[in-house]
Amino acid sequence: MTILALCLAALAFALAVPVPRVLSQARFRTRSPWAAMLLWQAIALAGGLSMVGAPIVYGLGPFGDSVPAAAWHVLRLSAAADFGALPALGVHAGHIFALCLGVLLGCHLLLTLLLTYVRVLGQRRRHRDVVRLLSTPVDGNQAAALGRHFKLSPELIHAHVLEHDAPLAYCLPGRTHSGSVTVLSRGLLDQLSEGELAAVVAHEKTHLQQRHHFLTMAFEAWYRALPWLPTTRHGRAAVTELTEMLADDGALRAHQREDLVRALALSSAGQEHRDVRRDARPDAAPDQSTPGGHTEGAGATEPAETLSAALEPSPLITTARLSRLLVPPEPLGRPALGGILLIVAALVCVPTAALLLGP
C-alpha cells in the first residue's frame, strides 16, 4: 500500500505541474481540439483521483492489503469504537493525518463542484431575466429585431436582440436546449453581413449543442477549489480555448471560413472603442462573451454585474485559434489519435483500478 501511495503521489505531481505546462502549449491541440479536450478531462480526473487517493491509501496501509478491505476495516473499528486496536496494527499519527487529509480534500473538491454548479445556475437565470427585460425577442417581432437580416429568422427563433452599439454575441445555456438563449447586439447586426452573422450564430449553436458550458464549469470549479495548482490555471484556459476551436469547427461545417474570420475581426475591432464598466469580481472566470463565445457568468454576483461582464472584452481570440482559422492545419493522423486515446484510457483506468483493486 505504501508503494501504491507513492506511485499515486508521483502521478498527482506529474499531472499537477509539468504535464499541464507542456500540454497547454502542445501544437496538436489546433489539429485535433476534441482529442486535446479528452486529454485534459482525463488529466483532471486522474489528477484528482491521485491527489485524493495518495494520502488515503497511505493512511489505510496498516488496515489491509487493498483499499476496499482496509476501508471496511476502518469502518468496523470506528463503529465499534475499538481505538485500542490501533497500536497493535501499527497505526501512528501520520496515518491518521493522511487519511483525514485525503477525505477532506475529496470532500472539498466535490463541495466546490456542487457550489459552483448551483451558483452558475442562479447567475444564468438572473442573467436570462435581465436579457429578456432589456432585449427584443426575435420570435416576437422578427422584422423589428433583425432588420435587414430578416431572412435568418428561422435560425434565430430563440434569440434576443440587445440594443447596444458594441458587437456582441453569446449564448446562455438552459437546462434543456429549448431553454437556451442566444443574445445578439444591435451593433453586431449592423456591422455583419448575412453570411457573417449566420457563421456567428452557427458558432453559438455549436456551443449549446455540444454542451460546452458543462466542461467550462467543471474546470472553473477545479480552479476555484485549487487555484494555486498550475494544472487548474492551465486547464481552465486550455478548455476555454478548445471549446472555441470546437465551436469554430462546427460553424465551418456549413459556412465559409472567410465569413467567420471577418466576423471575429469586426467584433474584436469594435471592442477597442467600448467604455463599459465591469463590476465582476477580480477572481471571476475568463469571460466568454465576445462574438463566438458562450457566457458562464461564474464570477458575477448580480444580474447587472453579469450583463456588464458580458459587454467587456475577453481573451477568447487567442493566437492559436486565429492561426488555425487563417491557415487550417492538417488533421492528426490515425496513429497519433490512437496514441492520444490510449493515454486517455490509461489515465482514467489505471488510477481507478489501483484504488479499487489495490497493489
With 60 as the cut, is the pLDDT of residue 56 above it? yes
pLDDT-derived band at 37 (thresholds 50, 70, 90) equals very high
What pTM was computed for the model? 0.82
Summarize pLDDT for 294-349 with one digit per residue, the tens.
554 434 344 455 455 444 444 578 889 989 999 999 999 999 999 999 999 999 99
Which pLDDT value is given to residue 295?
52
With 90 as the cut, is the pLDDT of residue 273 above it? no
Which pLDDT value is given to residue 149?
63
Would you say the C-alpha torsion 87, 89, 94, 96 has a positive or negative sign? negative
Distance CA 244, CA 119 (A): 23
Angle between helices 93-134 and 212-225 in degrees, nearest 10 = 130
Whether the Cβ atoms of residue 201 and residue 155 lie closer than 8 Å to each other: yes
Q: Which of 19-23, 137-141, 149-153 has the lowest mean pLDDT?
A: 149-153
Which pLDDT value is given to residue 266?
79
Distance CA 101, CA 169 (A): 44
Average pLDDT over residues 129-139: 84
With 60 as the cut, is the pLDDT of residue 290 above it? no
Summarize pLDDT for 185-228 with one digit per residue, the tens.
888 888 888 899 889 989 999 999 999 999 999 999 999 999 99
Summarize pLDDT for 89-120 with one digit per residue, the tens.
778 888 899 999 999 999 999 999 999 999 99
Cell numbers representing residue 320 in the block:
492559436
Average pLDDT over residues 67-93: 79
